[in-house]
Every structure is written in C-alpha cells, then in structure tokens.
Structure 1
Amino acid sequence: MRARRTFLALAALPFAMAVVAGCTEGTNAAAPKLPERTCFGVFSRSDLDPLMGNGEEVKEVGPIDMRLTAERRGATCNVDVDGKGRFLASATRQPLEQSFFWNPEMIRPAPDELALGDRGLVYDTGARVVLTCKGTKDVFQLELSLSGSIEHMKKGESRPLFTKLMTKFLDVAKEQTQCGS
C-alpha cells in the first residue's frame, strides 16, 4: 500500500510541476538588475529604472565613452531587457557647416521645447538637443538623442524624466566631447 502511494505521488509530480509552471508563466519576472553606471558612465541605475520594466537579463551595448572627434563622429548605447530595447542614448558630432534636421511636426503628440543647448525638444518617448561646440581645434555641432520605452510608466511622467536624463547627458557629453560651448 505504501509503495502504491509513493508511486501515485511520484506519478502526480510532473503534473503538479506543469500546473505550477503554467501559473507562473503569465506573471512578469522581477525588475532587471541594471549596472550601477551605464551608457558612457552617464546614467545611474535609479535614473533608468523607470524605463526598464520587468525582465531577467539586461544587456548594454555601446562604447565606454563618447569621446568624439572628427574621425569618430558618433557613439550609441543601447540597453535591452530580455532582448527588447528599453533605452537608447546617442551622441553625433558633425562639422559646423552641416546641420541636423528635425521635423517636430512629425512627432505626436507635439513635443515641448527644451531649454538646453542651441535647440532642444522633449517628447513622450525621448529628447534631442543640438549645441555648437568650440573645441580645441575646431568648431562643431553636437546632437544628443535619448529614447526609451515608456510602456511601464504612468501617463505624464515621461517628459520630466527625459528632461532630467537629457540635462545629465548634456553635462557629461560636453566634458567627454571637449565641447567648450
């Protein structure tokens, strides 16, 4: 009799495990653990937490810094959670005679002006800033761009967050790109 109960218990084990697995399958994993500093060393874990959502694996791809020159004109950092893009930061340098083109009319809902650099915009999913820099050897333009996944944020919270992130990004970018604007 005891052997039969043990057999039944062991036979029921895979079924019970499948039920438990099925129950947890629909729930989200905990928030992913971000590195203490990310994207060119600019952002802290708490800066980017609101954009990360739930997941298990965080992957950051990008160079360690954004020290741009006439030869190295761009640097981009991507942060993915479980293979889904959650945050992107990029810096692009170009000669002064070229210009960056934005069409704010294409952004919906309409962006707000951002009082940073020569020209700036903040919108629901990101921010952009352009500034003129006086380097040690030449004058150049620098465009900074941020975008992120806001699906885990409450409505109305993203623009203040992107404004805060861009302010921090701009300060570090000026230093790393040797922009003496």
Structure 2
Amino acid sequence: MGAGGVALPEEGCWGAFEPADLARVVGDGDEGTLNVSGGFVLARENQIATCRVEVDGEGRFLAEAKRPPVDGGTLLSAAEQDAGAGPGPGHDPGSADGREPLGFGTQGRVWSDGAVVGFTCRRRPEDPFEVELKISGRPAADDRRVLGRLMRQYFDAARQQLRCEV
C-alpha cells in the first residue's frame, strides 16, 4: 500500500524496493499502476529492464537497469546530462549542481529527483559485465536521502537477482 491509499503490488519493480520508501516518492492518489518491461536478467549487452510507477496516469517513479555495450552508451553519462552537467575531468559530484556521492558502487550519485550507480557483476571470473542502475522520482520535501535508500535497495537487489559475487 502506498501513501494516500495508492495500492501497488508488493513484488513491484522486481521486489527491489521497500514499500514505505517507494510510497514517499510516488505520493498520494487514487489509482496506482506498475509497468515492468523486461525481466531482470540482463543476459546480453544493451539489454534494459525498466519499471515505471504511475499514480492517476502520471509517472511518479522510474527504475532502469542496463547492461551497456562495451563501446559506451551508458546510463551514467545520460544521468550526468539529465542532471545538467557533462562528464568531465575535475567534475565534483557534490558541487553546486546539487549532486552528492552515494558512497557505494561506481560513480554513484544522488540529486533532488534521481540517482545513478554502476557496478561490475562477476558470476565467474571469465564473464564479468557492467551494470548500470538509475532511478528517478521526486520524494516529498525533496528528501534525497529517500532516493539514496531506494538506490541502495536497488543496488543490493540487482546484485542478488543477477547472482553477482559479493
């Protein structure tokens, strides 16, 4: 059950998020809808899994997972553009653009309406691959700590569901 009586499936978004934290992002409304595309497998390069939460027909939360191609095209670089700053040498994620480091994963950052993190998944030494996770939504009172908690939950769930070594 989300905030304001919005009911969302407990297993929504691959079971990655605590319902109470997700409720703080999706907010109030009458009807909640969950749209999940792709299973959380990421079996090949350039495969993307998404989960979108809508309340009363309005997108309130989006979770994306991507296994980027070896030659680039990453969510991390797209998130930098979304946050209004290009990736560049000397860029400080905690600078005036409002982004702060997450403290886990690769290039993990959180800002007022999103977060992004990457990691290397190792199932066997001969087949490690990169995974990128991105979430977007606007928590009540612009509390980016909620987004940081949601990203930590997503990070842990993704590594478990992909069976990556810890």
TM-score w.r.t. length of structure 2: 0.77
Instruction: Identify the structure with bigger relative contact order (alpha carbons < 8 Å, sequence gap 6+).
Output: 2
SS in 1 for 2:9: coil
SS in 2 for 1:40: helix
SS in 1 for 2:141: coil
Max radius of gyration: which structure? 1
1:171 aligned partner = 156
1:30-45 correspondence to structure 2 within 5 Å: 30-45=4-19
CA contact 2:35–2:53 (8 Å) conserved in 1 = yes
Structural RMSD (CA) = 2.4
Q: CA deviation at 1:63?
A: 4.3
CA contact 2:38–2:50 (8 Å) conserved in 1 = no
Code of the residue aligned with 2:147 in structure 1: it is F
1:1-181 correspondence to structure 2 within 5 Å: 30-63=4-37, 65-70=39-44, 73-98=47-72, 100=74, 101-102=77-78, 103=80, 106=84, 109-136=97-124, 138-150=127-139, 153-155=140-142, 157=143, 159-180=144-165
Code of the residue aligned with 2:10 in structure 1: it is E
Count of residues paired in the alignment: 148
Q: CA deviation at 1:180?
A: 2.7
SS in 2 for 1:98: coil
SS in 2 for 1:106: coil
Q: CA deviation at 1:96?
A: 4.3
TM-score w.r.t. length of structure 1: 0.71
Q: CA deviation at 1:134?
A: 2.0
Q: CA deviation at 1:72?
A: 7.2
Code of the residue aligned with 1:60 in structure 2: it is L
CA contact 1:109–1:124 (8 Å) conserved in 2 = no
Structure 2 stretches of 5 or more lacking a match? 86-95
Q: Distance in 2 between matches of 1:90 and 1:168?
A: 13
CA contact 2:45–2:69 (8 Å) conserved in 1 = no
